[in-house]
Structure formats: C-alpha cells, structure tokens
C-alpha cells in the first residue's frame, strides 16, 4: 500500500510522518504522474485558496477528479476538507466529493487557534473515548447531506465526516500524538 500526499503547500510532511509511523509508505503528489501507484490520497491543511491556485497551476484538477471517480479513498484535513466539500462559504471552487457545506475560518482566525477534546466517541472505530483535536483557522461544517456519516463531534458539531470513500475533518490529527484517524483512513483503504 502506498499513500499519496498532496505536497504543494501546507502540512504535508506531518501527514507523511504519521502514515510512515504506521508502517505504510508515502509519495508526495506534485504532478499528474504521481497519481499512478497510490492507493489513497491525503489533502493536507494549509490555505485552500492558495492550494487551489497551485492545483490549477500544476494542472491537477482533472487528475484529482479522476482519482475520486475511481472511488479511491481521499482524506482531507482542514483546507483539504474545504477542497473536498460540495459547498464552500464564501463561495470558491471545490471538488464536490462529499455532500457537506463548510464555512471557512468559522472557528476564528489564526490567533483563535485552539486544542480541545472532542465530544465523547460512541463508535468503537477509534479505540478511544475522546480525541485531542487541534483547530487552526478551522472550517465549520454547516450541514451534512443524507449520505454523510458524522464520526466525530466537537460541541455537538461535526468535525470528522465520511461519505463512502471520502473522509474529511476540520481539525489536525497529524499534530497530535494519537494516530487513530490515520489508522481509520488506512483501514478504509484496505477495505476498498
């Protein structure tokens, strides 16, 4: 198994470290050819407007859409979640891969970044009762469509959601010690 990590801007190295620590190899994705031979893809946090410009500059929109159409698992963190969402507020281009609406920066500006514990976890999927969550200029999930499952919440609001092969979260598990979200994503790939 090899995991691609979009490595144009933002927190890609930290994601690679997490996946490598779980014994799985990674490949930085910067051009179309990098999509061959990857079984799943992580879109890291960063700045979604900047990421969009770079994705267009490097001509990766169709490669991303093709990868998604093949039902290969994709996990988007923070700006990555914004890229995957169906609706973004304020409006900007997105892949529309998961039926959620997200509001950019709705948890506050950089100075309002915070670390908090998630709400109690009911599902056994993560093997823990609560998870530490790092929020950095995080997007807020405003609504989720019928086909979307909420896996984690903070103050009753969704912060980790899944629709089929797409996983998206507003926080940064790559900056905490717990590898449960990366493990969950690797299990999605193994099952796909």
55 binds ligand GLN (CB under 6 A): no
Torsion sign over Cα 97, 100, 103, 105: negative
Beta bridge partners of 153: 158
Q: Which of 40, 46, 76, 169 binds ligand GLN (CB under 6 A)?
A: 46
Of 114 and 190, which CB lies nearer to ligand GLN in the complex structure? Answer: 114
How does strand 157-163 pair with strand 140-144? Answer: unpaired
Beta bridge partners of 116: 133
| Residues whose CB falls within 8 Å of the CB of residue 112, separated by 6 or more in sequence, listed in order | 137
Size of the site for ligand GLN (CB under 6 A): 11
Is 133 one of the annotated active-site residues of the chain?
Answer: no
8 binds ligand GLN (CB under 6 A): no
Q: Which of 15, 86, 104, 140 binds ligand GLN (CB under 6 A)?
A: 104
Q: Are 96 and 88 in contact (CB under 8 A)?
A: no
Q: What is the 3-state secondary structure (H, E, C) of 10-52?
A: CCHHHHHHHHHHCCCEEEEECCHHHHCCCCEEEECCCCHHHHH
Q: Which of 40, 45, 73, 169 binds ligand GLN (CB under 6 A)?
A: 45
Task: Please state the closest distance from residue 157 (CB atom) to ligand GLN, in A.
Answer: 16
Among the options 15, 78, 165, 182, which is catalytic? Answer: 78
Question: What SS3 state is found at 123?
Answer: coil
Is 15 one of the annotated active-site residues of the chain?
Answer: no
- Which listed range, 24-32, 43-51, 65-73, 157-165, lies at the site for ligand GLN (CB under 6 A)? 43-51
Distance CA 64, CA 37 (A): 14
Of 134 and 180, which CB lies nearer to ligand GLN in the complex structure? Answer: 134
136 binds ligand GLN (CB under 6 A): yes
Is 56 one of the annotated active-site residues of the chain?
Answer: no
State the greatest distance between any 2 C-alpha atoms of the chain, in Å, as a whole number. Answer: 42
| Residues of this chain that bind ligand GLN (CB under 6 A) | 45-48, 78-79, 82, 104-105, 136-137
């Amino acid at each position: 198994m090899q995991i691609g990590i979009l490595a144009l801007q933002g927190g890609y190295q930290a994601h690679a470290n997490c996946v490598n620590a779980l014994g799985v190899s990674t490949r930085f994705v910067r051009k179309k050819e990098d999509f061959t031979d990857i079984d799943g893809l992580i879109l890291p946090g960063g700045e979604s407007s900047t990421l969009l410009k770079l994705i267009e500059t490097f001509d990766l929109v169709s490669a991303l859409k093709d990868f998604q159409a093949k039902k290969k698992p994709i996990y988007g963190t923070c700006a990555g979640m914004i890229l995957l969402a169906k609706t973004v507020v304020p409006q900007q281009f997105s892949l529309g891969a998961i039926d959620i609406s997200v509001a950019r920066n709705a948890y506050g500006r950089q100075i309002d970044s915070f670390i908090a514990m998630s709400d109690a976890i009911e599902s056994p999927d993560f093997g823990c009762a609560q998870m530490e969550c790092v929020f950095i200029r995080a997007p807020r999930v405003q609504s989720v469509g019928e086909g979307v499952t909420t896996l984690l919440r903070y103050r009753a609001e969704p912060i980790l959601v899944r629709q089929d092969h797409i996983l998206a979260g507003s926080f940064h598990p790559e900056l905490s010690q717990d590898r449960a979200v990366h493990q969950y994503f690797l299990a999605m790939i193994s099952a796909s």
